[in-house]
Chains A and B, each alone.
Chain A
């Protein structure tokens, strides 16, 4: 098997509880290198929890989770590695308010990856150009619009050169007129071949960009299908109800 066929993210029998609340119930999911997966589902279905388990922000009680093969390492080392291999974009941006946009992007590559600050700074400027906010590099997050902040957050995550990008409702906190600029950046990122797992309520984005749609409900994956098939002819009742509601 060549590297490209190899699953970038491999999840087997993942179970997670918050206290006694069973929030992930036997989740199985493979994401191939370069694949774009959009995760859909009603509120509280476990989408955020799943994505947070993937990058190690949340621990899980049962199952296996493997990113580019490192999950086979055990324990804390694996969590550390999977954080290195994944980039995360949050609904609330979570930029560091006391650092400029450029400093936000440079912090982790220099402090964690121990790379040469000059090189990192140049790369970060290139990334900021890619998300079209080079002119904001020396401003502070609070001086930017929501859309600009989210694009800066994407650049910050990319600066760690992740193999997988995770997005948790990246446009839900934005004013409608700013949603497009963030989705454009994400679409361009998808076109560049990045492996992406995206939780979103933007059905247009799911239709156009996703290779597969994963539909979750009550902690389970109910249906996995290409977007056209999922939106036009969902097989499961729960998926059908959901599609009818969001359309």
Chain B
């Protein structure tokens, strides 16, 4: 028997050259991107950073010729928390921390199951801290706003939409025609309507039909609409996952005596959700961006705050700064989410199985 040798390794530069030689088209594309970047980057850097003005009370402070970030920094409180009472901003910070803590168990494979309980609990707790209960004075949702609102709606709606989406996907496979029909109808109606129209309906039309005694504030109504909307999309992602579980898996579970429910929980869903993870993360990212649409119900999220700012006489004409800032914030969060999902996929992947 010949003794084992360490696997041969080539220097990085050599490997890159080899890769480019094997794929000339990729090499050309990479070169084009590099040239574009080299062309755009210096100007962008100068505008966004070098010549930028960072603080000031009005547009007049911006004299450097670059970006006028003062429009953002002068109202950082609103950007983060809307018109939430000034003395209670700690509650916003606490609520944000609670939300993040609620989803933190997802970061470790061992603890990810815990998120099933901690995430919904965190959303309710964050709502309680913000809205006020017991010793905390009330701060109705009309005062909520800023990026916190995007975070709250994005996380909160995701957390409740996923189980609903799973239920809808399962309902779609039901043998009972009524259940199946209702689920299909719901999914197709929702998927065929623009979210903005549904939000508008929730804000304006729904109150006309709700009985007098029952009032839900408009943010709650919007939240419900977003949950239903996203659930319909997640249902389709989960359905794809369910279809990817071989029939033999269910047979094996049945043959071992597992009933429907246990077959679902222990055999089918763990596999289906793994398959559906990329599509689900995709809809989480979409949902997060969709939170900017709640301006239609008259709530000021980060976009709304800045849109207001540019109509302010003192800051007129700074649309570019306002929207570039919003785009950058969302890009950072969505890119983080997609990196996290890539690592999640790796951690959830079944050992020994390729892809």
> B-contacting residues of A (Cβ < 8 Å)?
55-57, 80, 83-84, 86-88, 90, 92, 94-98, 107-108, 111-113, 139-144, 153, 156-157, 160
Q: A107 and B266 in contact (CB under 8 A), knowing A94-B248, A94-B249, A98-B274?
A: yes
Question: Are B352 and A84 in contact, with the CB atoms below 8 A?
Answer: no
A141–B253 Cα distance when bound, in Å, is 15
Residues of chain B within 8 A of A56, CB atoms compared: 254
| Cβ < 8 Å to A, chain B residues 306-355 | 350-353
A111–B264 Cα distance when bound, in Å, is 13
Q: Does B251 contact A (CB under 8 A)?
A: yes
Residue of A56, A84, A112, A113 with most chain B CB atoms under a 10 A cut-off:
A112
Interface of chain B, main secondary structure: helix
Partner of B256, one of A142, A144, A156: A156
Residues of chain B within 8 A of A111, CB atoms compared: 258, 262, 266
What distance in Å separates the Cβ of A77 from its nearest Cβ neighbour in chain B? 12
Residues of chain A within 8 A of B259, CB atoms compared: 80, 112
Q: A112 and B252 in contact (CB under 8 A), knowing A97-B350, A142-B351?
A: no
> A-contacting residues of B (Cβ < 8 Å)?
246, 248-249, 251-259, 262, 266-267, 270-271, 274, 350-353
- Besides A87-B255, A96-B252, 11 other A-B contacts (C-beta < 8 A): A57-B251, A80-B259, A84-B257, A86-B255, A90-B252, A95-B252, A107-B258, A108-B258, A140-B350, A140-B352, A142-B350
A160–B256 Cα distance when bound, in Å, is 7
A139–B351 Cα distance when bound, in Å, is 8
Q: Which residue of A lies closest to B270 (CB)?
A: A98
What distance in Å separates the Cβ of B354 from its nearest Cβ neighbour in chain A? 8
Residues of chain B within 8 A of A88, CB atoms compared: 252, 255
Question: Are B353 and A97 in contact, with the CB atoms below 8 A?
Answer: yes
What distance in Å separates the Cβ of B38 from its nearest Cβ neighbour in chain A? 45
Question: Are A143 and B262 in contact, with the CB atoms below 8 A?
Answer: no
Residues of chain A within 8 A of B350, CB atoms compared: 97-98, 140, 142
Residues of chain B within 8 A of A55, CB atoms compared: 255
Question: Are B258 and A94 in contact, with the CB atoms below 8 A?
Answer: no
A65–B122 Cα distance when bound, in Å, is 53
